[in-house]
Amino acid sequence: MKSKTKKNIPVLYVKKLKVNFQTKTGKVTGVDDLSFSIFPGETVCLVGESGSGKSVSSLAIMRLVEFGGGKIDAGTIMFASNSNFQSNLIDSDQNKMREIRGNEIGMVFQEPMTALNPVFTIKRQLTEGLRVHKQMSKNEADIEALNLLKSVRIPEPERRLHQYPHELSGGMRQRIVIAMALACKPKILIADEPTTALDVTIQAEILTLLNRLKKETGTSILFITHDMAVVAQIADRVVVMYHGEKVEEGNVNEVFNNPKKDYTKKLISSVPKLGAMIGKKYPEPLKLDSKNKVKSIKIVGTTKPLLEVKNLVTRFPVTGGMFRKKIANLHAVEDVSFTINKGQTFSLVGESGCGKTTIARSVLRLEEAESGEVCMEGVDILKQNKKDLLRQRLNMQMVFQDPYGSLNPVMKLFDQVAEPLINYKIASGHNLNKKISELFDKVRLPRSFLNRYPHELSGGQRQRVAIARALALNPKLLILDEAVSALDVSVQASVINLLLDLQDELGLSYLFVSHDMAVVERVSHYVGVMYLGRMVEIGDRQTIFSNPTHPYTRALMKAVPIADPKKRFNRDDINFKPISSPIMDLGFVPEPSSYNIIKKGHYVLNNDIGYN
Amino acid sequence: MFDYTVRRLLIAVPTLVIISLVIFLVLSLAPNDPMAQVPLTVPPEVKEKMREALGLGQPLYVQFWKWLVQFFWIEPQVLIDHYFGTNFSEDKLRVISWQTRAPVMDTVVQRLPQTLWVVGMSYVVAIAISIPIGIYSAYKQYSIFDQAGTFITMVGYSIPPFFTGPLVIVIFAVYLEWFPSTYDTLHEVNNWESFIVQLKQMFLPVMVLAIQGTAQISRYMRSAILDNLNQDYVRTARAKGLSESIVILVHVLRNSMIPVITVIALNLPLIFGGAIITEQVFKVNGIGQQLILAIYANDLPTIQTLTFIFAFLIVFFNLVADVLYALLDPRIRYE
């Protein structure tokens, strides 16, 4: 695409960058001695876990880090706006930077939900940069905005221009943010975790979109992520970061096939890989590194049913009109049945909005189901009165996704874990102290944490506390609602191993709700795939993963990024349909789910749900 | 949105009726006698007759019903008659003040413009001063300007108008003699000099009322801007290369105004409450002063009517605040 000589001049060259933050307790180093360069038309991935300084480096390049209290203390950032002229961004003043930002370096952020201004239309936000940098008139900018929306492949681009951000889905918003970043045809696009908050299918689409745009425009991409699988899919070169410092740098194939540093090895090995469990009938823990020996266990469980869900239907009323009458129903869960065996794991997998969390909540009756049966050892939970329901909940406990939101910030950890025991009057005094200490041992937390507050803990440690709290009542069933999704990969791996250990020790059953196919493959005995409130495919894990039959299951499998740079997405495979609305008129009577039996225990939905 | 507004208006009707009942019952508990000011030489039988003539002999529920009818049915007719020259309200009994024996609403209509001028102007001044102060304090958080602003607003917030009123009179009217200490309602503005006189006489009461408003609104503005400055969309706007003035005054301000405007609307009726005392201090004969005089004179129909008008304003501006909120924020849609 470009001549050889031109390629040798990096479009961006970062040398010995050091960024510090001034805090109450003194200086904290965000990035230390970081050097790397990006050549024209190249994708460089900065990869590392949270706190590794990868976002800080990108903000430093944009000189936006100063707005967040950071200070660039040393280093150079050479930016070549053309082959003859290079300027050091660190010496540029903010006026000069404003000409570069959005014009020559575009940026895409992690959270599409909050990255757009909620009170302005898409058109207004898209045209702003064009009018500032390219001096376009209002009309010219409007036309260009429409072209941009078309280039990022948004359905119905004309209509989107007049909409507000909240009217669009996360995937569409991220496309808008990308369109905004690319508006002025920048030399470099910095993408800071652009797909982390998105579903796998949308992630696959955004990644192919970025790859395509890079080929079409010759833009260099600095891609920041924590996900090695995404790195394998998109990177030309990789820079691994840890605690603000560069650990390793190299060509993507080199880094994946022959990682030199232990940290890189650990990062690669802790990614749950799809297909890692082929030929293994039962879940087993991840082998993390050579230092910490993982017990090699196989979780067999039993075939005796513990929880049977039959024809579960949950709908939410949609109200409207002057007297807030019910005018429609949101069909969140529609005729779903499954069974969880004692000591085994049943996983519900699907994209956001497919109803998997609603099922989990309906089982505990945190959400009232419309009809159906939820039988726990023969007792129908849905028919219990308040008092009996309370007793039944002794057997079922839940762990939620967000370890920051699910713990009370003003209560000591001891009190939080003790609360269920006190509530059910199971233990008190010395006995209580002993029980809580044992629970902390079980989840591998030091007893010295008992008197701490949640903010003193990391995300993974908090999730362990949440698990300890759920285990306090000795439940038979744990409902894990995206319980490992918000954690860093290495932390995620250790929490998964903990869960598997606990299952082995205590004979627990899990209802595991997740959108992450690779994690599901690691932990499950049986898997149910959800789409638009229906269970589209259900079967044992090996069958589902080796012989996905429903078209949606297949699409979902294809969308999972593989941590191997040789197995990249085939662009023709990436053609997902937008999910249709689950809101139906009051008169709408959904047909019951009917299934084709592929083989014993492997069912595939027969109904037409708009995905064939 | 329309449905929502209509529903809220419908709910407001029973709310207001209950409020008026509570006001009525509380006032009827007050140990007072409208005949207390009548000379002792008037024989008790005559006093009793006078009481009955005022309707006091009737049971409470009849008295309340009469007031409801007079206020909600007859007074609007008077208004229609006034504007269209009709005579619906002829010979019908209106809410009569015990003190002046004239219809309460006539006095209210005479006095309302003075209140609106002083109170309304003070609120406009407060908003005009406080919003820029709030924005700048937030943008330069913990700067000297912000610290000084915080100190001054705390002082302004914590000192009540009945103290600042006499204080500014002593300083500006007595010692410096820059401004008059009282407000002359009869003053007419017809040329430049008289306009200056009007400005001068409004200055002190407006200032006293504006101090509190400024303190409050600038605090809200500051915290709303601070909340928004940390939002992701601000970073996006900067990453687009927009200038700081556009980032702050367009992107951040528009979002920050959403809570502040509702606070402004909600506080509007409260400032009438502050005006009651300020009007008394500066001798502005607005409706606040009318209320104070009525309380001194045990003039129950006037107290009842004015208190209810204040209650109505509070309910009404609550609704205005909610509707404004939805208009400003595209994410809010009441259905």
What DSSP letter does each residue of A406-431 carry, written as one string?
Answer: SS-TTS-HHHHHHHHHHHTT---HHH
Has residue A119 got a pLDDT over 60? yes
Of B251, B258, B335, the CB nearest to A117: B251
Cβ distance A114 to B231 less than 8 Å, yes or no, reads: yes
pLDDT grade, residue A295 (50/70/90)? Answer: low
B332 to chain A, closest Cα gap in Å: 10
Domain A304-377+477-485+508-612 falls in which CATH fold?
Rossmann fold (3.40.50)
A34 to chain B, closest Cα gap in Å: 22
Which segment of A464-473, B121-130, B260-269 scores lowest on mean pLDDT? Answer: B260-269
ipTM above 0.90, yes or no: no
Mean pLDDT of the A139-167 span: 88
Q: What residues contact residue A68 under an 8 Å CB cut-off, 6+ apart?
A: A59
pLDDT grade, residue A210 (50/70/90)? Answer: confident
**Mean pLDDT for all residues in chain A:** 87
Using an 8 Å CB-CB cutoff, list chain B residues near A321.
3, 335
Residue of A97, A322, A324 to mutate, interface with B, max B Cβ within 10 Å: A322
Cβ–Cβ < 8 Å for A396, A363: yes
Has residue A5 got a pLDDT over 50? no
CA quadruple A64, A66, A69, A74: dihedral positive or negative?
Answer: positive
Cβ distance B239 to A107 less than 8 Å, yes or no, reads: yes
Q: Where in chain A is the domain with CATH 3.40.50.300?
A: 7-269, 304-377+477-485+508-612
Structure confidence at residue A190 (pLDDT): 93
Tokens of B285: 């004969």
DSSP A64: -
CA distance A352 to A582: 13
Please give the domain boundaries of chain B with CATH numbers for all domains. Answer: 35-97 (no CATH), 107-328 (1.10.3720.10)
Residue for token pair 């959400």: A367
Kindly state whether A119 is in contact with chain B, defined as any CB-CB distance less than 8 angstroms. yes
Cβ distance A119 to B232 less than 8 Å, yes or no, reads: no
Tokens of A417: 């874990």
Task: Give residue-wise pLDDT tens across range A58-93.
Answer: 999 999 888 888 889 888 998 987 666 778 888 888
Q: In 3-state terms, what secondary structure has residue A585? A: strand
Of A445, A487, A578, nearest to A160 (Cα)? Answer: A578
| Cβ-based neighbour number of residue A15 at 10 Å | 15
Of A388, A372, A397, A375, nearest to A315 (Cα)? Answer: A372
CATH of domain A7-269: 3.40.50.300
- In order, the DSSP letters of A275-304 are TTTTT-SS-------SSSPPP-------SS
The residue of chain A nearest to residue B240, with distances taken between CA atoms, is A102
B262 to chain A, closest Cα gap in Å: 16
DSSP A495: H
CA distance A329 to B205: 57
**Mean pLDDT for all residues in chain B:** 85
Tokens of A74: 């040393």
Task: Give residue-wise pLDDT tens across range A552-601.
Answer: 998 888 888 888 888 887 666 666 666 777 888 888 888 888 898 888 88
The residue of chain A nearest to residue B334, with distances taken between CA atoms, is A320
Of B93, B91, B90, B120, nearest to B105 (Cα)? Answer: B93
Structure confidence at residue A29 (pLDDT): 86
pTM of the model: 0.80
Q: Give the gyration radius of chain B's Cα atoms.
A: 24
pLDDT grade, residue A397 (50/70/90)? Answer: very high
CA quadruple A61, A65, A66, A71: dihedral positive or negative?
Answer: negative
* CA max distance for chain A: 78
Task: Give residue-wise pLDDT tens across range A518-558.
Answer: 889 989 999 999 998 899 999 999 999 999 999 899 888 88
CA distance A128 to A150: 18
Task: Give residue-wise pLDDT tens across range A442-454.
Answer: 898 999 889 889 8
Phi, psi of B7, deg, nearest 5: -65, -45
Helix (H) or strand (E) holding A478: strand A477-481
Mean pLDDT of the A162-189 span: 88
| Cβ-based neighbour number of residue A186 at 10 Å | 22
Cβ distance A119 to B235 less than 8 Å, yes or no, reads: no
Task: Give residue-wise pLDDT tens across range A199-209.
Answer: 888 888 888 88
